[in-house]
Amino acid sequence: MAGKGTTLDMSLFYGTTEQKQAFCRDLLHVLRTRGGVKLQNHPIPDKDIYDLFSWTKKFFELPLETKMKAEHPPQANPNRGYSYVGLENVGAIRRDGKITRDIKETVDFGSATDDLVDNRWVPEEDLPGFRAFMEYFYDKAFKAELDILTALAIALGVDEQHLRSIHNRAENEFRILHYPAIPASDLSDGTATRIGEHTDFGTITLLFQDAVGGLQVEDQENLGTFRDIESASPTDMILNIGDSLQRLTNDTFKAATHRVTYPPSIKAGDGRILPERYSVAYFAKPNRQASLLPLKEFITDSTPCHYDDVTAWEWNNARIAALFGM
């Protein structure tokens, strides 16, 4: 297998025909068994990712009243703008009905050319250059997304053009996250965490994290077992499968449950402070009007269709409403 374990070298995708085939095959294998994969030498330049983290930090370091100028509405839609600690609780979607608070603050963005909802920005003079950089990065991530979708289409033997065409409007969501420093003991009774267990709603998520750690993904071959995903560098791209790809592939891919908790080196009883953590997630989604009915390649006599027909937008809205306790 090319690459080590859960890390793959995406430059192979741009190499010879054999290298490209091997990369696609390995990508499929790791995603199906582990639920997530780390990509190195992917098409987003390292400098852009270092700049992304530096802008992210600058945003969250603004005074609260400045950040609130770009406030996320108190309800799920439109999912745009700044959510202060406590506004959104991913754990609210737990099946047992209990709420676990997420100790995080976030900003959600969409495409700059989205014709349905506008982004919410702090005034340019409060953080000059932030908006231009975020719009630039959104585009870079979109191009990387299309190449990864092509690789998945090749690996799965599905129509590459079709998969790309149902993602061609870039109706994606992009989020920067800051987990403030907190005493490890705050997480010990289960009423609070960094981000509760969940699956993402879209097709694939491209995730970047700093060196703090704490991200865990459920192993697809040992459900209930979560593996720590650590990045050698913030430029590592962590790729997860979301609900929409599970539906489109009729459960060939399962959406990977993940969460963020203590870094591996810190335990609840340590009396230590969890250092602050920054991460960035790019949620690639099908076009809002695209059907999430499984693709024809995944429906056979022995594997009937597992899902009803819903549009990507209907699915997104049903899932996101739960995060705001609606």
Ligand X SMILES: O=C(O)CCC(=O)C(=O)O
Interaction site with Fe ion (CB under 5 A): 200
Choose from Fe ion, ligand X, none: what does 260 bind? Cβ within 5-8 Å by kind: ligand X
Is 26 or 200 the residue whose CB approaches ligand X more closely?
200
> How far is 286 from 169, CA to CA, in rounded Å?
8
Choose from Fe ion, ligand X, none: what does 244 bind? Cβ within 5-8 Å by kind: none
For residue 256, the minimal CB distance to Fe ion (Å) is: 9
For residue 309, the minimal CB distance to ligand X (Å) is: 26
- The dihedral built from the CA positions of residue 159, 109, 137 and 41, taken in this order, carries a sign that is negative
Interaction site with ligand X (CB under 6 A):
175, 177, 195, 200, 207, 209, 215, 258, 260, 279, 281
Is 169 or 194 the residue whose CB approaches Fe ion more closely?
194
Is 24 or 141 the residue whose CB approaches ligand X more closely?
141
Choose from Fe ion, ligand X, none: what does 207 bind? Cβ within 5-8 Å by kind: ligand X
Choose from ligand X, Fe ion, none: what does 215 bind? Cβ within 5-8 Å by kind: ligand X
For residue 90, the minimal CB distance to ligand X (Å) is: 7
CB atoms within 10 A of CB 145: 25
Is there a contact between 204 and 163 (Cβ–Cβ < 8 Å)? no
Residue whose C-beta lies closest to Fe ion: 200
> How far is 289 from 310, CA to CA, in rounded Å?
9
Q: Would you list the DSSP string of 180-222?
A: --EEGGGGTTSSEESEEEE--SSSEEEEEE-SS--EEEE-TTS
Choose from ligand X, Fe ion, none: what does 210 bind? Cβ within 5-8 Å by kind: none
> How far is 198 from 322, CA to CA, in rounded Å?
11
Is 195 or 295 the residue whose CB approaches ligand X more closely?
195
For residue 277, the minimal CB distance to ligand X (Å) is: 7
Choose from Fe ion, ligand X, none: what does 89 bind? Cβ within 5-8 Å by kind: none
Is 114 or 200 the residue whose CB approaches Fe ion more closely?
200
What are the backbone angles phi and psi of residue 240, rounded to the nearest 5°? Answer: -120, 155
Is there a contact between 200 and 172 (Cβ–Cβ < 8 Å)? no
Is there a contact between 283 and 239 (Cβ–Cβ < 8 Å)? no
Between the alpha carbon of residue 323 and those of residues 80, 87, 93, the distances in Å are 14, 9, 6
Is 153 or 199 the residue whose CB approaches Fe ion more closely?
199
